[in-house]
Amino acid sequence: TAPVQEFEYKAEMKQLLDLIVHSLYTHPEIFLRELISNGSDALSKVRFNALTDQDILDKESELAIRLSIDSKELTFAIEDSGVGMTEEELIANLGTVAKSGTLGFMQSLKEQQKELDGNLIGQFGVGFYSVFMVTEEVTVETRSARPDSQAYRWRSSGQGTYTIEKIERAQRGTKISFKLKEDYKEFAEEYRVEQIVKKYSNFVDFPIYLADKQLNSITALWQRSKNELKDEEVNEFYKFIANDYKDPLDYLPISVEGMVSFKSLLFLPSEAPPELLYRQGELENRGPQLYVKKVLIQNECRDLLPEYLRFISGVVDTEDLSLNVSREVVQSSPVMAKIRQILTSKILGWFETLAQEQPEKFRTFYKAFGPIIKIGLNTDFTNREKLIELLRFESTKTADDSYVTLKEYTERMGSEQKEIYYLSGASRSQLLAHPNLEYFQEKGIEVLLLTDPVDVFVIPSIHEYDKKPLKSLEKADIDFSKEKKDDKEPLADNLLAPVLQLFRDTLGESVEDVIESHRLVSSPVTLVSGKDGLDSQMEKMMKMMQG
Ligand code: ADP
Ligand code: MG
């Protein structure tokens, strides 16, 4: 029999394993994701080597991951046809911690009583050891893809030592096998394994088989170029990742190479989930999925998009982050900041194109998500100009169900008009009956009718468009003197003063002032607010929010 050599883990390793298995780990199912991701890495390497190196063992063999389980014996095995490991590689990779500082980091986590969640474990090159959560002893049989390689068996119970012996193995690649602890017998059940694979590894680039059945049914669509995508396929993918039963309104494939590289497939839902509109906080924890090298890292990654775009779902896959970066690292990573910046600008360009080329779709989109988009005006100052161009308004000149942009408004306003006028209220019909509108209607001056409740918070903040100030019709300081060419006899000064005084005396504290109006046509009086006063609609909203 071949001699079995015993090795000791580095001191650090013992403590590390202890931490992983006993203190920090909370999701044992992650072991499968880690083993699959290692298998996938090994397959990627052999695929690359085959491109550059003629001399490879089993050059023609299928690149795949195979799982086998036995629910009676509680055995579990995962085998790949990847690069495999030489004896030296086994010792270097499975007996030491590759990255310095890992132990210190993990200890500090424990001291802070933080959980070592699934996203963290792989970051420090310790993903493999998560298998010791679900088993007492692991066997790794491996043969390097180098043509003259030997095969080895590595075995350890994660207690401080491991053994290595030479074995016979015909094919290249690695097989990892173990017996599950009684507590984890669920992982020997077919449905459970399938579930975990679909959850974490559905888009791994190589087939994952369980007894000849391929579990990862959907391929990495976002890796394809636009003309390789079929609508039906893309729609299925959307429904799967977004948990929607309807087709998406539109999708956008993105491929970026440069300072950062990533591929992405983004979706516009066909309608907004109702809670989105009323509870802005719902956007807080949404976002596309983040993949690193085709391995799912975060399901709803809020750091990929600014909040006002987080209704967009999809996938972003980058090679520029280390596999399984932690939430904290994702958040502060300059790579993420760059990705977010590029995505945001691509998405706003997408909306613009939709508006130009598919106005019907854009209208559906804007109706559903316009109120959310507007949040961006007050939060994303870099893209403020683009967002302003996307705004759509009803006006005194738009037909039912059609809209005007600020650009169109300014293009069609008369040369003597210096301001952009708006009036805000609950509905179009209510606004059209407003006395403050009379003058403008008579003069044929277009007035924007703001009926979206969020308008009063965002539209006044635009201040001006194309050097033309935006002005609420409720403000007292609109200058009518220039436009005013009245055919009616003005009230004589000696009559006007006593009338105004009478109103002031009667209304007392309930108004700030009473002034002569040039804006009324058929109504005798109207209410306006002072130059610095709140818009009445805004006032209503504030009252509502204060409860
Ligand atoms: P990481 O994957 O982050 O490097 P792991 O603890 O998951 O850390 O794996 C440690 C190392 O063991 C890997 O980097 C790789 O060199 C080696 N390894 C693990 N699984 C396999 C495998 N199936 N085939 C080849 N090498 C592997
Ligand atoms: Mg790994």
The beta-carbon contacts of 189-197 under 8 Å, at least 24 apart in sequence, are 189/69, 189/71, 190/69, 190/71, 193/32, 193/67, 193/69, 196/29, 196/32, 196/33, 197/32, 197/36, 197/67
Two tokens, residue 102: 């890992």
Residues whose CB falls within 8 Å of the CB of residue 144, separated by 6 or more in sequence, listed in order: 57, 83, 84, 85, 86, 89, 150, 172
The Cα 444–Cα 276 span in angstroms is: 38
Give me ligand 2 centre to Cα 186, in Å.
Answer: 23
Q: What is the pLDDT of residue 324?
A: 55
Query: 3-class SS at 138?
Result: strand
Please tell me the residue having the least CA distance from ligand 1 atom 17.
93
Q: What is the pLDDT of residue 24?
A: 55
**Contact between residue 478 and residue 530 where contact means Cβ atoms under 8 Å apart:** no
Residue list for the binding site for ATP: 34, 38, 80, 85, 93, 99-101, 123-128, 174, 327
**Contact between residue 210 and residue 190 where contact means Cβ atoms under 8 Å apart:** yes
Torsion sign (Cα): 303, 305, 308, 310: negative
Q: What is the pLDDT of residue 338?
A: 96
- Convert 179-239 into a string of H (helix), E (strand) and C (coil): EECHHHHHHHCHHHHHHHHHHHHCCCCCCEEECCEECCCCCCHHHCCHHHCCHHHHHHHHH
Please tell me the residue having the least CA distance from ligand 1 atom 19.
38
Residue list for the binding site: 34, 38, 80, 85, 93, 99-101, 123-128, 174, 327
Q: What is the pLDDT of residue 149?
A: 96
The Cα 147–Cα 153 span in angstroms is: 18
Residues whose CB falls within 8 Å of the CB of residue 282, separated by 6 or more in sequence, listed in order: 273, 275, 276
Angstrom CA distances, 88 to 154, 161, 170, stand at 12, 16, 19
Q: Is 138 exposed, middle or buried (0-12, 13-18, 19+ CB in 10 A)?
A: buried
Which atom of ligand 1 is nearest the CA belonging to 80? 23
The Cα 216–Cα 150 span in angstroms is: 32
Q: What is the pLDDT of residue 62?
A: 95
**Contact between residue 309 and residue 323 where contact means Cβ atoms under 8 Å apart:** no
Produce one character per residue of 241-272: b if its CB has 16 or more CB atoms within 10 Å, e if not: bbebeebbbbbbbbebeeebebbbbbbbbbeb
The Cα 472–Cα 491 span in angstroms is: 26
Which atom of ligand 1 is nearest the CA belonging to 126? 6
Q: List the chain pLDDT tens, one digit each, 547 residues.
A: 568 999 888 777 777 787 777 765 667 898 998 899 899 889 978 877 776 666 899 988 999 999 999 999 999 999 999 999 999 999 988 877 655 566 666 676 666 655 544 444 445 567 888 899 899 999 999 999 999 999 999 999 988 889 999 999 999 999 999 999 999 999 999 999 999 998 888 778 799 999 999 999 767 899 998 999 999 889 878 887 787 788 999 999 999 999 899 999 999 999 887 666 555 555 666 789 988 877 777 778 889 999 899 899 999 999 898 765 666 777 788 999 999 999 999 999 999 999 999 999 999 999 999 988 998 999 999 999 999 999 999 999 999 878 999 999 999 998 889 999 999 998 899 899 988 888 899 889 999 999 988 898 889 899 999 999 999 988 766 666 555 555 566 677 788 888 888 888 988 888 888 887 777 777 777 777 766 666 666 676 666 666 5
Give me ligand 1 centre to Cα 127, in Å.
Answer: 8
Q: Which ligand is nearest to the CA of 39?
A: 1
**Contact between residue 294 and residue 285 where contact means Cβ atoms under 8 Å apart:** no
**Contact between residue 389 and residue 405 where contact means Cβ atoms under 8 Å apart:** yes
**Contact between residue 352 and residue 258 where contact means Cβ atoms under 8 Å apart:** no
- Does residue 85 have its Cβ closer than 6 Å to ligand 1? yes
Report the half-sphere exposure of 294 (CA within 13 A, side-chain side).
25
Q: What is the pLDDT of residue 245?
A: 81
> pTM score, two decimals?
0.63
Query: 3-class SS at 77?
Result: strand
Q: What is the pLDDT of residue 325?
A: 62
Give me ligand 2 centre to Cα 127, in Å.
Answer: 5
Q: What is the pLDDT of residue 488?
A: 62
**Contact between residue 408 and residue 466 where contact means Cβ atoms under 8 Å apart:** no
Q: What is the pLDDT of residue 118?
A: 44
The ipTM value here is: 0.99
Give me ligand 2 centre to Cα 38, in Å.
Answer: 5
E strand segments, 82-158: 135-143, 151-156
Strand order across the 262-268 sheet: 250-256, 262-268, 313-318, 289-292, 295-298
